[in-house]
Amino acid sequence: MTRQRQAGALLAIDRRIHTALRRPHASDDAGVALISAVLFMVVLAGFALITLGVILGQVAPAQFAQSDTRAGYSAQGGMQAALNQMRSIDRTIATGVYGDRSKLLCSFDGRLDGASTDLEYDVAIQYFTSDPTYQTAAWISANALPCTNGLGPSVQPVAALISSTGFNAAAVGGAEVDRTISAVYIFKMTNVNIAGGLMIYGAYCLRAVPAVGQPTVGPGARVVFKPTAQCTVDATDKWQYNGNVQFELASSKDAGYATGLCITQGGADGASFFAVLQPCKSSADPTRWDQVYSAWGGTNLFQQAHNAANQMTNARSSYCLSGSTIGDNVQMRIATSCGGWNNQSAVGPGAASKATNQVVNFGEFGRCMDVTNENWSPTETFVIVYPCKQDAFGGGVGINPNHKFFYTEPAGLTGTVETTIIASQDSNPASGSRLCLAAITGSQYPRLVACNGSDRQVWERTAASPGGWGVSWTFVNKATGECIGTAVNEFDGWISKLQLQACNTATAQKWNAPPFVSEASIGNFKELQG
């Protein structure tokens, strides 16, 4: 039985083998498909590795770009913080609410979110008495006002250059990323808001100090000389030459004196008189002669306007603001020994205006167009802006002809009119001695030449323009399309020249602009670093 079972098993195996041999062979495509599948997987794995490499290679740049963007946000945050600060500081005085110069910051820093140390900003602010837009780095460095946190800029600014640097410390590899942006802010200005400037005589300036026995500056306060190095930040150093031809202590209205305190002839000191402060008198007060000091000639002599009987007349007294006795803390005299003053332009123009046939620069408020060196031969290669001269009675009586310029204003002080700008040796714009202001080929400085009616002697005078402050109160040359501006301090180191410039919103391009028209604006955005 055993052999039979073994034989049966062998027979079964033989049958299975033969059956298998009789089956058809598998197709050759099966092998190709297997190979293709393996190759596809290999290629796919290769692509995956390449893609992974690309992704990993972009991680750092993407992180840096994100950090750079966050640094930009920080810089913008610092810029907004600066603008908010400048727009929010104010003080209330007798005539209204005005900006407080002493609260203007020179620099500050902060965090964007108030908590994170990753996003921070540093802000630096430079202040100017004219618009720094389009000016060179050298000009900006030379004309930036001294500034101290807690005291503000040294004089009332017209514009501010804001530089804000944003930082993001959470950058790739811990490296800090920073970006810097800048912008120019033009302050809203009015005559009342001009805080004044220094009255300078030689190496000294004027300061108001309390009268003996008085704790603060008030009526009877003394007016003394101080070395100019000491007259940069104190509110009692700043003076304003007002429309009544009086020198008013700029901070006196802040102190509660509604009419202000003005330099007044005080008690006698031999042949001279001490200079003191008393409440400013109105233009209708016939006794105001002891407060009226007008500069009228080629030099800056501030003489009283009255006759021997102390009556207000067109005559000028021989007494003036004197430097006869000068020194640290020495009280100024009103005396017959007169001398020239080199006051800062921020002191103001006094009564100078179109009504006196003078052309006042709004950026250098206190400077007027002037025939250079009083030279009436058409040989001077430029025209200057010089401290404005004064007439206490109106009409320009007694003002020398080199300070008078004649032109036509648009009807109603609105819109634009073509006009010439004429200076005349006999103060007659129709006489044969007249000279016309002209743009000169190849020169950036306009000059006075013989009148010929050419387009280079024609100026488009725009008063109040529907286009706003930026295009108002300008003189644009018909031939060149350029505006008359000023080249600051290019004559004798402290007097500016007239200059043809590409028209912009600079206050130095505004002439005989009325008060209460300079609106606040922000512009000239730049990225300096990023």
pLDDT at 175: 59
pLDDT band at 56 (very low <50, low <70, confident <90, very high): very low
CATH annotation of 199-348: 2.80.10.50
Contacts of 490 (CB under 8 A, 6+ apart): 496, 497
pLDDT at 407: 98
Range with the largest mean pLDDT of 83-87, 205-209, 365-369:
205-209
Distance CA 79, CA 85 (A): 10
CATH annotation of 352-514: 2.80.10.50
Task: Please check the confidence at residue 2 and state whether its pLDDT lies above 80.
Answer: no
When pLDDT is averaged across residues 257-264 and rounded to a whole number, the result is 93
Question: What does the domain layout of the chain look like in residue ranges?
Answer: 63-190, 199-348, 352-514
334 close to 324: Cβ distance less than 8 angstroms: no
Task: Please check the confidence at residue 174 and state whether its pLDDT lies above 70.
Answer: no
Cα separation values, 305 from 292, 309, 312, 396, Å: 6, 11, 6, 14
pLDDT at 28: 54
Distance CA 247, CA 228 (A): 18
pLDDT at 191: 45
Structure-derived torsion over alpha carbons of residues 311, 314, 316, 317, reported in degrees to the nearest 10: -10
pLDDT band at 399 (very low <50, low <70, confident <90, very high): confident
Task: Please check the confidence at residue 450 and state whether its pLDDT lies above 90.
Answer: yes
Among 8-17, 416-425, 503-512, name the one with the lowest average pLDDT: 8-17
Tell me the per-residue pLDDT of 28-52, one tens digit each, with 9 for 90 and over.
Answer: 555 666 676 666 676 666 666 665 5
Q: Which two tokens stand for residue 157?
A: 């600014």
One fold for 199-348 and 352-514:
yes
pLDDT at 51: 58
pTM over 0.75: no
Task: Please report the DSSP string for 113-180 in residue order.
Answer: SSS-SSEEEEEEEEEESS--TT--HHHHHHHPPPEETTTEESS--SEEEEEEEEEE---GGG--EEEE
Q: Which two tokens stand for residue 346?
A: 């921020």
515 close to 191: Cβ distance less than 8 angstroms: yes
